[in-house]
Structures are given as structure tokens and as C-alpha cells.
Homo-oligomer: A and B are copies of this chain.
Amino acid sequence: MRGTVLYGPGDIRFEDREDPKIIDPTDAIIRMAATCVCGSDLWPYRGLQPLNGPTPMGHEYCGFVEEVGSAVTSIKPGQFVVGSFATSDNTCAHCRYGYQSSCAQREFISRAQAPYLRVPLADGTLVPSPGGAPSADLLPSLLTTSDVLGTGWYAADAANVKPGVTVVVVGDGAVGLMGVLSARQMGAERIIAMSRHESRQKIALDFGATDIITERGDEGVARIKDLTKGVGADSVLECVGTQESMMQAIHSTRPGGFVSFVGVPHGVELNGQQLFFSHVHLHGGPAPVRRYLPHLMGLVLNGEIMPGKVFDLTLPLDQVAEGYRAMDERRAIKTLLQP
């Protein structure tokens, strides 16, 4: 088969690779129905994260089970499945606490921008669609549950979003937009999206944002304070991963409020004393998507949410390089790839 490999900054190739095979008896092989490019793929694409030689790419996936290893019991060939970007046995202590992305046996998926994918720990990682093969129009939304929606949902959950609260979402990338949608689902009263791009503002409003703020940094914080009678927000979702966005998030939160951070931080250092006097709760990390998958797949299959709207570019898989370019140049929010 051919698959996606990053050779260096800006150098994405779709090239011959070996077909994935069952290696461990707990593996499954799936045939991709749809995959996509993640905002986090852009860090190494932009040269902001070191590479160890040519690197197969992709960690968001859904598709049909082709084959399973001898120890796989609940996942069956032919099922339509979605899995998390982090594999999990779903039985260790960390998994039982709901932190499957810190599973004792965790591996990070990294070869999903391809027509076939080996998924380790299939029983604990994959969730079958209860109704069998979904209709084609649901595919994009189901694909989002594999990472970007699960991560946005975790951002809202980790920031303690509850009915009635005031939420701020820092970052208008796909994860931030999913954070808006998730906060709306969780009953937030007010959802303030920080965005200066018209196309993203539109999706944010469509997903349930009540206010848009275009200011950033200290000015952005001042606007949030204005909008909250000087108090600050209850829940702030940091969906970027830079020092500036993190400080913007912390300073926008009221004392006793909650800050989540769900994008891998790059160059972020937090001063202990500043954090102390901010009085915020802070929680983040790689989203435990597996915890949320059954619920989120259900919301999609029942037609309650349409997170697939976040894909504003769809390309054949072999044009994956253009998919990266479009996102890098901010011509696209998120690129869906069809095998």
C-alpha cells in the first residue's frame, strides 16, 4: 500500500510502505473509511518539533475491521470501528479511572494517514458502531470522535463545564471549535470564543458560541473581564499550547475557576507563584478519548451533533500533501482524507 510519511519541514510524501500485519495477538488491522490531518501534525510539519528521520503520520481514524489477532475477543472482522489516537487495554488502573490515554500499555498511533492501519490492544482501544456500517454522511462526524471531538470534549470536561457557567475558549482551531460544541452540549450559558478568522467565527457561532472576541493577550483578558463584570470566566479551555495562550487562559479565569489545556504545550513554562495567586484549577493532558467514545459516537449516530462540519476541505488520500499545506497556510481548518 501507499501511506503518508513526513521527511522534514514541509516535506510530506505519499509513498510505498509495507502493508500492516498482525504483530501481537491483541492487534487488529482496519481498512480506513476516513482519516484526516490533525493540528498537532503541523508542529513537526512546521519544523517546530524535531523528527527522528522519516516519520509515518496520522492518528485519527475510523473504518472496517479486516483482521484480528488470536487474543482479540470483542472486536470482529467486518465491524465499523472508531479508535483513539492513544491505545489502551481499558483494564489497568489508569484506564479504570478513566485516563485511558495514560494506560500502562499505551502506544500512540502514528500511521493512520494510509488505507490500512494496525491498531494494538484492539479490544481496549476500538469501539464498534452499534448500528453496523454508518451512512456516508455520518462518516466525517464519526471520524472526529477519534481525536478532535474527544479532545474538545475533554477540554470542556477538564474545565468543569456545567449547566449555567461562563466558558472561554482560547484557540479557534478544530479542537477549540469542538470545545465550543462540547461546552454547548454540557449546558454552558455563555460561550466566549476567541477568534479573529471569519470562517472560524462562523463555525464557532454555529456550534454554540454566544460571543466572539478578536483581541488577544492582555487586551483579550481585559475584554473577558469586561464581559464578566470584572470577575473572570468559570471555565477556560486552552486549545493552542503556547505560552501566550496559556497565560491568556489563566488570566481570563476567575479565582477558583477551571483551566484545561489539551494541546501538547510547546515552550510553556508556568511560574509557581503566578499560578498560586491566580487561584485557578488546572488540568490537562492527552485526552482520554476512549472514555468518551461510546457517548460521542452515540450523539453523532443519533443526529444530535454534527462535528464533521469542522472539515472544510476533503481530498483523496493521495493528495495528503496538499491537505497539510492548506492547513499550514490556514486556507483550511481541517482536512478530511478519503482512501
Bound-state CA distance A269–B241 (Å) is 17
Tell me the minimal C-beta distance from A278 to chain B in angstroms.
7
Please name all residues of chain B whose beta carbon is closer than 8 Å to the beta carbon of A273 when the two chains form the complex. Answer: 264-266, 268
Say yes or no: A276-B256 contact (C-beta < 8 A), given A94-B231, A270-B270: no
Which of A15-23, A61-69, A182-190, A281-289 faces chain B?
A281-289
Indicate whether A98 reaches chain B with its CB closer than 8 angstroms. Answer: yes
Q: How many copies does the complex hold?
A: 2
B285 touches A254 (CB 8 A): no
Q: Which one, B99, B101, B276, contacts A265 given CB within 8 A?
A: B276
A254 touches B284 (CB 8 A): no
Bound-state CA distance A285–B275 (Å) is 8
B254 touches A97 (CB 8 A): yes
Please name all residues of chain B whose beta carbon is closer than 8 Å to the beta carbon of A283 when the two chains form the complex. Answer: 280-282
Q: Which one, B256, B271, B282, contacts A282 given CB within 8 A?
A: B282
Indicate whether A303 reaches chain B with its CB closer than 8 angstroms. Answer: no
> Hey, which bits of chain A sit against chain B, CB under 8 A?
93-94, 97-99, 101-102, 104, 229-231, 241, 243, 246, 254-256, 261, 264-273, 275-286
Smallest CB-CB A-B distances: 9 pairs: A268-B272, A265-B272, A102-B255, A279-B285, A99-B256, A99-B255, A270-B270, A282-B282, A281-B283
Bound-state CA distance A271–B273 (Å) is 14
Bound-state CA distance A77–B275 (Å) is 39
Tell me the minimal C-beta distance from A138 to chain B in angstroms.
31
A277 touches B272 (CB 8 A): no
B281 touches A102 (CB 8 A): no
A269 touches B271 (CB 8 A): yes
A sample of 9 more A-B contacts (CB under 8 A), given A268-B272, A281-B282, is: A97-B254, A99-B254, A243-B272, A246-B272, A261-B276, A265-B276, A266-B272, A269-B269, A281-B281
A93 touches B254 (CB 8 A): yes
Tell me the minimal C-beta distance from A249 to chain B in angstroms.
12
Q: Output the nearest chain B residue to A234 by Cβ-Cβ distance.
A: B97
Please name all residues of chain B whose beta carbon is closer than 8 Å to the beta carbon of A265 when the two chains form the complex. Answer: 272-273, 275-276
